[in-house]
Structure 1
Amino acid sequence: MSGDLRFDGRVAVVTGGGRGLGRAYAELLASRGARVVVNDTGAAISGTDGDTGVAESVAAAIRAAGGEAVANNESVATADGGAAIVSSALDAFGRIDILIHNAGNNRYAPLTEMTYEDFDAVLDVHLRGAFHVVRPAFGHMVEAGYGRVVLTSSIGGLYGNTRVANYGAAKAGMIGLSNVVALEGADHGIRSNVIVPAALTRLAEGLDTSKYPPMDPELAAPAVGWLAHESCSITGEMLVTIAGRIARAYIAETPGVYQPEWTVEQVGERIDQIRDTADSWLLPVVPSAHVDHITRSFAMATEGSAHVG
């Protein structure tokens, strides 16, 4: 079809591109003309025991299908690794237009038993890993006047889950990082968004998925493909994709209640009004949610003080 959205001339980096969702993203973009860096250490779910052949197998499959791809085995968990991943795109293809940070690991434990090592190991790959690739890629995108950044969160980051304090904290942090990229990139043709995907991958091992609807990684990939495309019209937002459903997740704020002063007791007495979601504020990150939040809050205080006076 002549109307197909393509990526001819674009260069994409996909971290964690060797399996599952990352592989689906890499293959989709490559099938539509993108030149792809498939980054994957080939590690186990815990982040250990790397297999350098995992990334190369995907890159080879893309090339066999007529596409262009190179493999990269560096870890996003270090600043040097992140820089090397971005450099591989520049070395192989001379540019970087799209950055999809999908690499992940997990180490399960309840709060009282989670070690600091396990907490840091997960933050190193997910959240710090995002920064390790975003930081070197962002400057090149600014120079080019164009970029698409897609960072990966999770319902575990939005809503939490048991035994994954490390994962939940890292995935929630991804939202704030993406919003900053969206703000700082707004004047440079750079858009940054978060994907909140669900798919049956090796992370589902051990779960009874016999009654799940179809949830192949390929079902989630088109949403990421659109976020990575030049026609993407949003920035600083979150898209959820699960079992064929695509939705927007967003952070809103109740109008709240103004008083010139408060007691602890009054907070309790008015908590239902404070929490009332009618007429909630939905403040777009770009251009000015941060300022809008302060401006509206100050306006309530000013108006409230005038009424009190």
Structure 2
Amino acid sequence: MSYHSPVLLHESIDALDIKEDGVYVDVTFGGGGHSREILSRLGVSGKLFAFDQDPDAFENSIDDERFTLIQENFRYITRYLKFHGVKKVDGILADLGVSSHQFDEAERGFSTRFDADLDMRMNQKATISAKEVVNEYPEEKLADVLFLYGELRNSRSLAKTIVEERAHQKIETSFQLKQVLKRFLPAAKEHKILAQIFQAIRIEVNEELEVLKEFLKQLPGLLKEDGRISVISYHSLEDRLVKRFIRTGLFSGEPEKDFFGNTNEPLKKVGKLIVPTPQEINVNNRARSAKLRIATLK
């Protein structure tokens, strides 16, 4: 799987407790590794639907009458499943974040390793790219993006420096941005800080946290009574949302109690948090920050 090495492959599919005649959804198809594993466990009457908004992923499509690949963002999961005549499913898998392919394709602009146009769009039809965020966002909004999504404490100074530089010359490539912020990148921490900056811009470009919230809110209405969700996240911002929604059904605050002091959370967690083994991390370094959470209807 040169396109994308599936992380926590067996653990995430085991978590779905596959039924041979079940209906399943892989909302982040990518290289198709997780989808192929689901199909290998389905019988002839089973069905698998997959979502991916990146046209590159369609080159990995699977020729199997049980399989349907939908070229859309998974924030629209309910709408497109309904279009295909599906109201309830037995399991949903989400492998969040950026695929290895997107990181490794220099022209996509996701990686700090290459000098490429500031793009970072998972959906190439989207109108806002990293270039617009860096060159057109007001200073305060840019600082908020860097603080909220990159968790950078010096976000105000970073944003001020970017705005001052772009007044003289448009910042169009990843290496240009790196050069502009050079004084904030000490050698010992350069890679980590750059990764945080790129992560923040990428999340803003793709509305990743809003997409995740919209997706999670739809899950209780899509799952059959004993249906399962299996969600792999790669950074604390995603994981916090997933963990909190499974625990409370909310993204902030606490659930309201009824007259008897009971709450009505839609989901309940299954098992404990699962992380990759040292062996998997050794083979696939991108697995190092992965966290798998599993839930079912309460």
TM (normalized to structure 1)? 0.43
Q: Which has the higher contact order (CA 8 A, sep 6+)?
A: 2
Larger-Rg structure: 1
TM-score relative to the length of structure 2:
0.44
